[in-house]
Structure 1
Amino acid sequence: MDFTPSEEQSAAQGLAASVFGDLSTHDRLAAAGTGTDAELWKELCAAGLPGAVEDIGLLGLVLLLEEQGRTTAQVPLAATCVYGLLAVAGHGTPEQRERLLPGLRDGTAVATGAFPARGGVHTSDGALYGSVPWVPWLRDATLVLVADADRALWIVEAGAPGVGVTPVETTAPWAAGRLVLDGARGESLGGGPEAYAAVLAAARTAFAGLQAGVCAGSLARAVQHTVTREQFGRPLSTNQGVLLRAADAHMDTEAIRVTAYEAAWRHDDRRPYAAQALTAAWWASEAGKRVVHAGQHLHGGTGADLDHPVHRHFLWGRQLDAYLGCGGEVLEELGLLLAAARQEEAS
């Protein structure tokens, strides 16, 4: 395995770091509240970053999302790329790709996904019925990738008849909404349960990459604080307990990163990666919440300030802990997958 980024991936990551670093500032995040930073999204799309994902692959997307996570930039990059660009490019018909991909590339279309499938949506006579309690970035979306109870995939236009969107506030400010489908018409993406499993695995890998960035940003803020803050005449960073807590957080962050890289690399190399995607999701959930808690605790009383930048990392880390399956859920799924593979080998 070689996770060394290609020239194109490195260039895209560098550009993303520059855009996020310059524009996803504390003041802009405070002004955005719980909504999307529309101007930042325009800048990302003008730079061609969403559209570049088709060329730089899932590993390239993970690198971009790491940079987003470092600054907790409030844009629907992961959702649009995973549930829109990669899903349509990988499983859509030629006509769907020709019609839908241009808007997803230039940002005039925003996609999200009603994932994972939990039996909340069913089809009857070609129409969709049911509800999904919360969908990330739904308030911005023009297209929603809906998974029904049979794990078939449907592309639904957000403003179509029979589609209702109610704003929902989640732990992280992801412009979420409750999706209600009452006879809505969607178009089949194709591929059935196999396509659903592929999109879910890609989503878990991508959001694990986002969590790696969130954790790296939280830890960087904690390190800066403990180096500059003094107690009893010396920096907090010289305290052994602080050093050990920061070291543990660093190891957890690296574990999230490397497992996300491995899953993404295997995807791009067209190797089986279902187990690796679940492994990355488990680390993102279990280790992610440890890191963002450590980041907040290492700030001491400052970490309790809801307006402090480190608190945003805490909120994002806890949201990502549960999204697409908490640690226990994905661990059970991984165990069943490995047991099925072992049984198949034995038969």
Structure 2
Amino acid sequence: MDFTPTEEQAAARELAARIFGDLSTHERLTAAGTGSDGELWKALCAAGLPAAVAETGLLGLVLLLEEQGRTTAQVPFAASCVYGLLAVSAHGSAQQRERLLPGIADGSVVVTGALTDSTVRADSAVRADPAVRADPAVRADPAVRGGRPGRLSGVAPVVPWLRDATYVLVADAEHRLWLVRTVDARCDPVELTAPWSAGRLTLDATPAERLGAPDEGRFDAYDDVLATARTAFAGLQAGVCAGSVARAVAYTNTREQFGRPLAAKQGVQLRAADAHMDTEAIRVTAYEAAWRRDEGLDYAAHALTAGWWASEAGHRVVHAGQHLHGGTGADLEHPVHRHFLWGRQLEAYLGCGSELLQELGESIMHGEGDA
């Protein structure tokens, strides 16, 4: 395996680092509250970074998300690339790709996902009754043109970046994937640990279109999109942790106690070193899972491994970052606290450590992959 970025991946990462560094400042993040930074999102899209993911692959996306995580930039970059660009590219029909990908690439269409912790079901009347499926009102709805039409009911209690989204990629009880327009659904804002523009999605016989061509049985689509999401958000967690460690190092090198920098104390050095090693473990497992997907290799178990490290080690790192700031770390307005909130949110997103470990063990036991 080779995690060395290609020339295109390296150039995209450098551009992302510059844009995030220039625009995702503490002052702008504070002003944004729990909303997204529209100006930053426009700058990223104008620079072609979401579109670049189509060429740089999942590993390229992980590199970009690391830069987002370092600054905890409040934009729907991860969600729209995972649930939109990569999911539609891999599993959408030709008509869906033609219709949706240009808008996702230029940022005018934002997609998020509701794959877990929902009660969504496809209404049986639409699935079983050919007369209902042939209903002109259903077929003419732009939300269902080009895919197998349906109607969904149920609730997804927490959907990240829902308040920014044009579409939501929803998994029903049978793990089939559907695209739902947010204008057709009820979307209520919710507050999370991290200040993401999240919401509660309520569907009541809401028009939807199946991801993929009508006659395609994409039974692997759910597993692929979920593994892609776990890998990508592990990359985001690696950036969050790296940012937390960097802030802790800067603080302990300048803060003095009894005439010596805090960083001169062995206990501080050991705590920072442990946090650095945990961050590297998150990064390398995310890189491996992403590289394997890009190479067309099995990567489900590797995505679970990356997700486990992001959850378990991510928890340790953001706590260490806050503790190394001493009393300053308890200040809710301090920038390091934002890394703490993001790290705790990502710790539980798409499955906590114990859940992922159980799923990984079961997959190994059934011979579905190796870690």
Structure 1 equivalent of residue 28 of structure 2: 28
Aligned equivalents of 1:327, 1:315: Cα separation in 2: 17
Structure 1 equivalent of residue 71 of structure 2: 71
Report which of the two structures shows the higher radius of gyration computed on alpha carbons.
2
Instruction: Note if 1:123 corresponds to 2:122.
Output: yes
Instruction: Note if 1:233 corresponds to 2:232.
Output: no
Deviation of 1:198 (Å): 0.2
Aligned equivalents of 2:29, 2:118: Cα separation in 1: 35
Checking the alignment, whether the CA contact within 8 Å between 2:58 and 2:293 is kept in structure 1 is yes
Instruction: Note if 1:144 corresponds to 2:143.
Output: no
Checking the alignment, whether the CA contact within 8 Å between 2:120 and 2:155 is kept in structure 1 is yes
Structure 1 equivalent of residue 145 of structure 2: none
Structure 2 equivalent of residue 134 of structure 1: 158
Instruction: Note if 1:325 corresponds to 2:346.
Output: no
Letter in 2 for 1:10: A
Instruction: Note if 1:296 corresponds to 2:322.
Output: yes
What aligned pairs does 1:136-175 form with structure 2 within 5 A after superposition? 136-160=160-184, 163-175=185-197
Deviation of 1:192 (Å): 3.9
Count of matched residue positions in the alignment of Structure 1 and Structure 2: 341
Give 5+ residue unaligned stretches, structure 2: 127-149
What aligned pairs does 1:1-347 form with structure 2 within 5 A after superposition? 1-116=1-116, 118=117, 120-124=119-123, 125=126, 126-160=150-184, 163-190=185-212, 191-341=217-367
Aligned equivalents of 1:119, 1:202: Cα separation in 2: 19
Out of 185-194 and 137-146, give the one that drifted further.
185-194
Aligned equivalents of 1:5, 1:173: Cα separation in 2: 31
Aligned equivalents of 1:24, 1:115: Cα separation in 2: 29
Aligned equivalents of 1:306, 1:87: Cα separation in 2: 37
Checking the alignment, whether the CA contact within 8 Å between 1:150 and 1:193 is kept in structure 2 is no
Letter in 1 for 2:103: G
Identity, % of aligned positions: 71
Structure 2 counterpart SS, 1:108: coil
Aligned equivalents of 1:174, 1:247: Cα separation in 2: 30
Checking the alignment, whether the CA contact within 8 Å between 2:304 and 2:360 is kept in structure 1 is yes
Deviation of 1:58 (Å): 0.1
Deviation of 1:174 (Å): 1.0
Aligned equivalents of 2:157, 2:5: Cα separation in 1: 38
Aligned equivalents of 1:193, 1:177: Cα separation in 2: 28
Deviation of 1:119 (Å): 5.2
Checking the alignment, whether the CA contact within 8 Å between 2:118 and 2:155 is kept in structure 1 is no
Checking the alignment, whether the CA contact within 8 Å between 1:151 and 1:192 is kept in structure 2 is no
Alignment deviations for residues 263-317 of structure 1 (CA, whole Å, 9 cap, x no partner)? 0000000000000000000000000010000000000000000000000000000
Structure 1 counterpart SS, 2:276: helix
Alignment deviations for residues 148-193 of structure 1 (CA, whole Å, 9 cap, x no partner)? 0000000011102xx1000000001110000000010110003544
Checking the alignment, whether the CA contact within 8 Å between 1:114 and 1:135 is kept in structure 2 is yes
Checking the alignment, whether the CA contact within 8 Å between 1:134 and 1:177 is kept in structure 2 is yes
Letter in 1 for 2:253: V
Structure 2 counterpart SS, 1:88: helix
TM-score by length of 1: 0.97
Structure 1 equivalent of residue 142 of structure 2: none
Checking the alignment, whether the CA contact within 8 Å between 2:118 and 2:156 is kept in structure 1 is no
TM-score by length of 2: 0.91
Alignment deviations for residues 195-222 of structure 1 (CA, whole Å, 9 cap, x no partner)? 0000000000000000000000000000
Aligned equivalents of 1:226, 1:193: Cα separation in 2: 51
Structure 1 counterpart SS, 2:164: coil
Aligned equivalents of 1:6, 1:77: Cα separation in 2: 21
Letter in 1 for 2:82: V
Checking the alignment, whether the CA contact within 8 Å between 1:79 and 1:112 is kept in structure 2 is yes
Give 5+ residue unaligned stretches, structure 1: none
Aligned equivalents of 1:101, 1:173: Cα separation in 2: 28
Structure 2 counterpart SS, 1:89: helix
Deviation of 1:127 (Å): 1.3
Letter in 2 for 1:319: Q
Aligned equivalents of 2:31, 2:334: Cα separation in 1: 14
Aligned equivalents of 1:169, 1:119: Cα separation in 2: 17
